[in-house]
């Protein structure tokens, strides 16, 4: 019998999906149901029907899994920022490892059961870890509020306390919202192209306590900007204030132009003994505690002896390069964001690393050029966005004949896709180490080490 939107069905969940939802099957049709765990039975209402799958919501749950816990966040069901607060820590770790394993099963010929895919490395205290908040602004009953949009809606859920954000980011965000209300600075309306305040972005130093604030605005001529600036700079630990102008109607947070208003142009951060200076738009890992663990893994995985040439692709501000620099003969890296390239080179100069250079542009442009000039890398380190590596970049790396690739991935699906291409080109998977970089969410990162297979001698 064909499923219809509005149908009520009794289901039993047998596994979890990549977004943390429970998966059940009715008449060979896969049903995705948020907030259900394996082994749980429930009456559900079908909310969407597609050709190969359907979605449903829980009407009544009949039993609780032993791994179900009470989500401590009072707006967990509304916000959508977290997906798996209702899972025990044990299940969260197993679930994330299984996401990685399944991606390799589906997209590669890797023998997953015999490969070295390791248990997920988690956090001892998986709360209050995010060092950066990006909360859009809206109005409710004439007051400015900030928060996140409820999934698949235009409803802004007001967030005054977030259990996965560092406390400084939330406290400063709330203070800025109060200041905007007191100064009566209008929220930007993209449809009418009126108003100003659009998004509050707050980044907090994990080991320095420095706070950097960016107010994204629809128009540059913000009223009472001097007073706004003075009051923001007077907030605890704030050392840097910028505005970013974005009048686009899309949901993209940042526009192309950022203006320094007060304080330092960059904020200071430190991971282990490595120091960073961060521009407002420079990418930096959002979970510093886990990043320290993961970067130590990258250094160990690269297995540098001081004689290797290294490529640092998708380099950001040189975050990983700074950890590799003491162990490499030479490092060359690239990044498409100009401010990040500037930050990366500044970091190397400040730390006395004259053998490390970063350039602006795409890796698939620079690597073939360097190879043509006779500069061949021994090790390539990549940390791409969720879309994974560009196909041309993979071909460039393959052509460079690098002996080792260390791949830092934030998306198991694109990681597995890229792994398949590298395996076909003669690379073997040495090991896979998943990391829980975003506890309480369905995201998982991994460090994967590839080695070039040695040609057999006959």
Q: How far apart are the first and last CA of the chain?
A: 61
Whether residue 99 contacts residue 411, with contact meaning beta carbons closer than 8 Å, is answered with: no
CA 284 to chain centre: 9
Q: How many CB atoms lie within 10 A of CB 361?
A: 12
Element (H, E) at 296: helix 288-302
Closest by CA to 176, choosing from 131, 97, 234, is 234
177-191: burial string, b at 16+ Cβ within 10 Å, e else: bebbeeeebbbbeee
- Cα distance between residue 262 and residue 385, in whole Å: 31
As given in the structure block, the two tokens for residue 271 are 């991971």
Q: Is 285 annotated as a binding residue?
A: yes
| Residues annotated as part of the active site | 410
Q: Is 350 annotated as a binding residue?
A: no
Closest by CA to 268, choosing from 289, 282, 252, is 282
- Cα distance between residue 54 and residue 378, in whole Å: 47
286-308: burial string, b at 16+ Cβ within 10 Å, e else: bbbbbbbbbbebbbebbbbeeeb
- Cα distance between residue 217 and residue 247, in whole Å: 7
> 436 φ, ψ to 5°?
-90, 85
- The three-state secondary structure class of 299 is helix
Residue ranges of the annotated binding site are: 285, 314, 335, 383
Residue ranges of the annotated binding site for S-adenosyl-L-methionine are: 285, 314, 335, 383
């Amino acid at each position: 019998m064909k499923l219809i939107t509005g149908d009520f069905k009794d289901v039993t969940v047998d596994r979890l999906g990549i977004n943390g939802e429970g998966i059940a099957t009715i008449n060979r049709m896969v049903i995705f149901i948020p907030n259900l765990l394996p082994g749980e039975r429930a009456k559900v209402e079908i909310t969407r029907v597609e050709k190969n799958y359907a979605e449903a919501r829980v009407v009544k749950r009949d039993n609780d899994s032993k791994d179900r816990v009470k989500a401590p966040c009072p707006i967990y069901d509304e916000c959508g920022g977290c997906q798996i607060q209702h899972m025990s820590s044990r299940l969260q770790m197993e679930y994330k490892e299984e996401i990685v394993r399944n991606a390799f099963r589906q997209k590669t010929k890797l023998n997953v059961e015999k490969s070295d895919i390791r248990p997920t490395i988690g956090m001892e205290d998986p709360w209050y870890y995010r060092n950066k908040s990006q909360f859009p602004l809206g109005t409710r009953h004439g007051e400015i509020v900030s928060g996140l949009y409820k999934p698949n809606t235009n409803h802004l859920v007001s967030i005054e306390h977030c259990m996965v954000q560092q406390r400084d980011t939330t406290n400063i965000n709330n203070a800025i919202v109060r200041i905007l209300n007191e100064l009566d600075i209008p929220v930007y309306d993209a449809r009418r192209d009126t108003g100003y305040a659009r998004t509050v972005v707050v980044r907090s130093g994990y080991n320095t306590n420095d706070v950097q604030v960016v107010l994204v605005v629809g128009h540059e001529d913000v009223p009472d900007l001097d007073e706004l600036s003075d009051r923001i700079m007077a907030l605890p630990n704030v050392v840097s204030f910028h505005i970013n102008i974005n009048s686009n109607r899309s949901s993209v947070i940042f526009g192309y132009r950022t203006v320094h208003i007060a304080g330092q142009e960059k904020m200071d951060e430190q991971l282990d003994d490595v120091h960073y200076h961060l521009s407002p738009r420079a990418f930096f890992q959002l979970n510093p505690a886990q990043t320290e663990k993961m970067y130590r893994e990258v250094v160990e995985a690269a297995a540098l002896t001081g004689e290797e040439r290294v490529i640092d692709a998708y380099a950001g501000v040189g975050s990983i390069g700074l950890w590799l620099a003491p162990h490499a003969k030479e490092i060359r890296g690239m990044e498409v964001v100009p401010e990040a390239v500037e930050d990366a080179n500044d970091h190397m100069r400040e730390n006395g690393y004259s053998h490390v250079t970063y350039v602006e542009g795409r890796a698939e442009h620079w690597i073939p050029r360097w190879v043509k000039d006779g500069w061949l890398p021994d090790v390539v380190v990549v940390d791409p966005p969720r879309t994974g590596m560009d196909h041309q970049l993979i071909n460039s790396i393959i052509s460079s004949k690098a002996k080792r690739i260390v791949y830092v991935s934030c998306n198991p699906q694109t990681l597995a896709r890229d792994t398949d291409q590298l395996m076909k080109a003669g690379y073997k998977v040495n090991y896979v180490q998943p990391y829980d970089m975003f506890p309480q969410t369905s995201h998982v990162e991994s460090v994967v080490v590839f080695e070039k297979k040695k040609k057999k001698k006959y």
